[in-house]
Amino acid sequence: MKSEQPVRKSYGEKQVTESPIRVSSGITVDVQRLHKVYRGNARKGHPDVLAVDDVDLTVREGELVVLLGPSGCGKTTLLRCIAGLERPASGEIKINDRVVYSSKNGTYVPPEDRRIGMMFQSYALWPHMTVFQNVAYPLASLTGYDKESTAARVQEVLTNLGVAGLDHRYPGELSGGQQQRVALARALVGSPSVLLFDEPLSNVDAKVRRRLRAQLRDLKKQTSFAGVYVTHDQEEAMELADTLAVMENGKIRQLAPSREVYTRPVSIYVADFVGEINRWKGRVESVANGTAEISTELGRFTVTDVPGTVSRDSTGWLAIRPERVGLTPAGGVADDKTHRFRGKLRDAIFFGARFEYRIVMAGTEITAWLPDGAQYNFQPLAGDEIDVILPKDSVRWLAE
């Protein structure tokens, strides 16, 4: 690790005004009321697209925020705005308390002056440079690196990422995983204040992806870098995120630790995006003190812990994760903590770590996941009548 502080050179023009020593607000990236519009062409019938719609986002020191959403939801645009590769329409972005974009006073700091590191979806390794040249590239823009310290720093980073000895190869001669690490090395080498990741794992096969994910997680633990990570892969998001931001149509729908997003999603859209969920359409009959009476085709439910925004007659979804659904042989009686329905097993599928049961009940279908082993004392066959148990505290009311 490079312990000595490189001396900061001073150039005549464009002096950076902030002190290099952080005035610690604890916030690495601060995005406020950000808008980004892609202009359409009215004559051709292409309307304007609001890619980022009034987004607030903060990334604290050492925090990795994962932007999750389907393609076109604006997550990459948001990332590129933070990087400076896109110019927003309005709003403010601060990196390490330095305003890098502000529509109010017309500030726009170009990407090369934002002191960030980034991993691209395509890795964006320069094919005409060796691994060494690629990784050393960011250092040339920094003061305090001479030839020797550059070489030492590059070797250090390559070694730490397990790709030492490749420095004279060209990217075209490396495997996908090696390229990945070189790209990561390049992103890290300049010790940037924030790391941005633009779906960096979407181009490698599943096995390599898992390994690299684990490596990233380790790296994160050891160095606690702050970063923003864009992905459409729910598992990847869960594994890496300190905070998960689920995006839809340019807006952040929910910003919370991943466990909270999974267990207490704010909408069916968010719930659906972070995992599978059973759902029935329903209507609020009455609501009081965070408890609502919901009518569905399965009957009436009492649901606790509903958001204050829910009002009478609003429609939405009654939902439960498949792993929360219980199954017992037909004939038992519901207690006051569960709902109980009679159903008919349509199919049972073995997935290794779990069994998946698909049950038809009251004209609808429900999926239940039971861990492998649970079937020793209970082995229903397709066509059997069984009882489906829905724990009351696991049934959630979700807005559209």
Which residues from 4-23 bind another protein, rule CB under 8 A?
Answer: 5-6, 8-9, 11, 13-16, 20-22
Q: Please say whether the beta carbons of 177 and 204 come within 8 A.
A: yes
Among 154, 183, 388, 389, binds another protein (CB under 8 A): 183
Let me know: does 154 contact 2? Beta carbons within 8 Å.
no
Nearer to another protein, 135 or 287 (CB): 135
Which residue stretch of 191-199, 258-266, 269-277, 349-357 sits at the interface with another protein (rule: CB under 8 A)?
191-199
Tokens of 40: 């359409």
Spatial distance between the Cα atoms of 84 and 94, rounded to a whole number of angstroms: 11
Nearer to another protein, 164 or 382 (CB): 164
| 222 lies in the site for another protein, by CB under 8 A | yes
Beta carbons of 341 and 293 less than 8 angstroms apart: no
In the region spanning residues 109 to 128, those forming contacts with another protein, defined by CB under 8 A, are: 110-118, 120-128
The verdict on 129 binding another protein (CB under 8 A) reads: yes
CB contact at 8 A, 273 and 237 = no
- Site for another protein, residues 55 to 94, rule: CB under 8 A: 83-85
- Select 63 or 387, whichever has its Cβ closest to another protein: 63
Least distance (Å) between residue 107 CB and another protein: 15
Q: What is the CA radius of gyration of the chain?
A: 26
CA pair distance 32, 155, nearest whole angstrom: 39
User: Between helices 176-189 and 206-223, what is the axis angle to 10°?
Assistant: 20
Does 142 interact with another protein (rule: CB under 8 A)? yes
Cα–Cα distance for residue pair 166/163, rounded to 1 Å: 6
- For residue 68, the minimal CB distance to another protein (Å) is 21
When the beta carbons of 83 and 359 are compared against another protein, the nearer one is: 83
Select 188 or 398, whichever has its Cβ closest to another protein.
Answer: 188
Residue number, 202 or 394, with CB nearest to another protein: 202
Residues 147-176 that bind another protein (CB under 8 A): 156-157, 160-162, 170-174, 176
159 φ/ψ sector (left φ>0, alpha ψ -120 to 50, else beta): alpha
Q: Which of residues 201-220 bind another protein (CB under 8 A)?
A: 203, 215, 218-219
Tokens of 360: 């038809």
> To which residue do tokens 């204050």 refer?
308
In this structure, how many other beta carbons lie within 10 angstroms of the beta carbon of residue 315? 11
* Contacts to another protein from residues 223-252, by CB under 8 A: 223, 225
- Residue closer to another protein, measured from CB, 161 or 389: 161
User: Smallest distance from the beta carbon of 95 to another protein, in angstroms?
Assistant: 9
Q: Minimal distance in Å, beta carbon 18 to another protein?
A: 9
Task: Please report how close the Cβ of residue 243 comes to another protein at its closest, in angstroms.
Answer: 19
Give whole-number Cα distances, 311 to 194, 233, 268, 305, 325, in Å. 42, 34, 17, 13, 27
Which of 58, 90, 102, 191 touches another protein by CB under 8 A?
A: 191
The correct pick among 77, 179, 231, 254 for binding another protein (CB under 8 A) is 179
**Closest separation between CB of residue 371 and another protein, Å?**
34
Residue 203, classified by CB atoms within 10 Å of its CB into exposed (0-12), middle (13-18) or buried (19+), is middle
Among 75, 186, 253, 279, which residue interacts with another protein (rule: CB under 8 A)?
186
Question: What sign has the CA pseudo-torsion 125, 129, 134, 140?
Answer: negative
Separation of alpha carbons 204 and 210, rounded Å = 10
Token readout for 97 is 């308390």
Nearer Cβ to another protein (226/245): 226
Yes or no: say if 344 and 384 are a contact pair by the CB < 8 Å rule: yes
Least separation in angstroms between CB 59 and another protein: 13
